[in-house]
Amino acid sequence: MDPQDEVAEKIISRAIGEELRRAREANGWSRGQLVSRLPSGIGDRTLLSYEHGTRHLTLLRFIELCGALGVAAPALLNQALQRGRVHLRNLVLQVNLRHLLDDRNDRFLPINRWARNKLREYPDGVVELSPSSVREMATFIGCPYHELANYLARFIPDEPLELSSEIATDE
């Protein structure tokens, strides 16, 4: 395996684990409480190793954990990749406009006017930016896409993921 791929793999495992932990804590659950909700019967230590990113999750286990946590698996994965700042080229970035406006990086100051105008449209302060939108913004301010995407990814909202609508209707 390419050393860069190994690094990316570790970053992704840690980022997914961190998001799983955040979702569990947002529910107010201990690891034991989450494990007791899983049909697969994994142990606390296995969950701990997932949360620390030291053990890789299968896709089915990831979906099972997300279901038990009440979050949509695609949303959790998107947040994990954004927080880990990997594979940003394919992500819809969630950006907290208020946090963006608090940053005074001269390189990206042209975005501040856009962010102030967007706040009128999105009073909660959170917008989702498609890769094509980020590409256009990067062209406008004259910087490479990956540089702007990395910058914007820093302003991920702090709020926990919302309950998955698919899961919410099952109850």
Q: Does residue 49 sit in the same domain as residue 118?
A: no
Q: Does residue 71 sit in the same domain as residue 117?
A: no
- DSSP letter, residue 160: P
Q: Does residue 73 sit in the same domain as residue 117?
A: no
Q: Return the pLDDT at 162.
A: 60
43 has a pLDDT exceeding 60 = yes
Query: Which CATH number does the domain housing residue 23 bear?
Result: 1.10.260.40
167 has a pLDDT exceeding 50 = no
Residue whose tokens read 């105008």: 117
Strands (E) across the chain are located at 93-96, 126-129
Q: Does residue 108 sit in the same domain as residue 48?
A: no
Q: Does residue 81 sit in the same domain as residue 95?
A: no
Average pLDDT over residues 21-26: 97
Q: Does residue 75 sit in the same domain as residue 8?
A: yes
pLDDT tens digit string along 51-98?
999 999 999 999 999 999 999 999 999 999 999 999 899 899 999 999
Q: Does residue 23 sit in the same domain as residue 81?
A: yes
159 has a pLDDT exceeding 80 = no
CA dihedral of residues 94, 96, 102, 103 (deg, nearest 10): -10
- Domain range for 34 is 3-85
Overall number of domains in the chain: 2
Q: Does residue 31 sit in the same domain as residue 50?
A: yes
Query: Six-digit token pair at 78?
Result: 């998107």
Q: Does residue 70 sit in the same domain as residue 99?
A: no
Q: Does residue 78 sit in the same domain as residue 98?
A: no
Residue 29: inside a domain, yes or no? yes
158 has a pLDDT exceeding 60 = yes
Q: Return the pLDDT at 160.
A: 59
Residue 162: inside a domain, yes or no? no
Q: Does residue 92 sit in the same domain as residue 108?
A: yes
Q: Does residue 101 sit in the same domain as residue 136?
A: yes
Rounded to 5 degrees, φ, ψ at 93 are -85, 135
Residue 171: inside a domain, yes or no? no
Q: How far apart, in whole angstroms, are the C-alpha atoms of residue 58 and residue 157? A: 27
